[in-house]
Amino acid sequence: MESIHACERVKEIFQQERKVPGLVTDTVMFDEEGKLILIERKNYPKGPALAGGFLDIGERVEESNKREVLEETTLEVDDLVPLGIRDHPDRDPRGHNISIAYRAKTVKGTPKAKDDAKAIIKIDPDLDKINALDFAFPDHKEMILKALEMRAS
C-alpha cells in the first residue's frame, strides 16, 4: 500500500468528490465620510453586494477577507470585527455557501472596481437607501444592519 501511495490517492479522490458547502467571507466597510462602500457585481448574481468571496485552500478567513476586498476594490482593510455567520442553504443562488461576515474598522485607499466588481457604490448608511437596494445576496442587508447597530453602540 505504501509503495503505491494509496493513502495519498484516497485522500485526493475524497477531496475531489466530497460535496460540502463553500466558504465565503463578506466585508462591511465605510469610508472616511461614513459612506457605506459596496460593489456592483460583474458576474451572476448581479446587483449590489458587499466585497467578498471564496476562501482559497490553505487560507485563513481573515486573510481571505483582506485579499478579496483588495482584489475587488483596491482597498486595504484591517481591524476586522466579526459580524457573524450566515449559513442558510438558500442564501446564495449559486449554491450552498456559508458566509463569515466582518466589519472593517480600518479602510485605506481610494476604491476602484476590479476583479468581480463592475463598479463601486457609495451610499449614506441610511435605512431607506439600504432598503431600496436589491442586493445580489439578501443577507448582505442583514450584515450591514448589524454593523450599523454595532457602530452605534
Mean pLDDT of the chain: 92
Mean pLDDT of 91-107: 95
**Which helix (H) or strand (E) is 40 found in, with range?**
strand 36-41
Report the C-alpha gap between 115 and 70 in whole angstroms: 9
Distances (CA, A) of 5 to 9, 11, 17, 105: 6, 10, 19, 48
The grid coordinates listed for 129 are: 437607501
Phi, psi at 132, each rounded to 5°: -75, -15
pLDDT value of residue 8: 77
**Residue 103 pLDDT level (bands cut at 50, 70, 90):** very high
Residue showing cell 446587483: 47
Phi, psi at 90, each rounded to 5°: -100, 10
Over the stretch 9-43, which tens digit does the pLDDT of each residue have? Answer: 766 766 666 678 999 999 999 999 999 999 999 99
pLDDT value of residue 7: 65
85 Cβ neighbours under 8 A, 6+ residues apart: 98, 99, 100, 101
Return the CATH class of domain 21-152: alpha beta
pLDDT value of residue 17: 67
Residue showing cell 468571496: 53
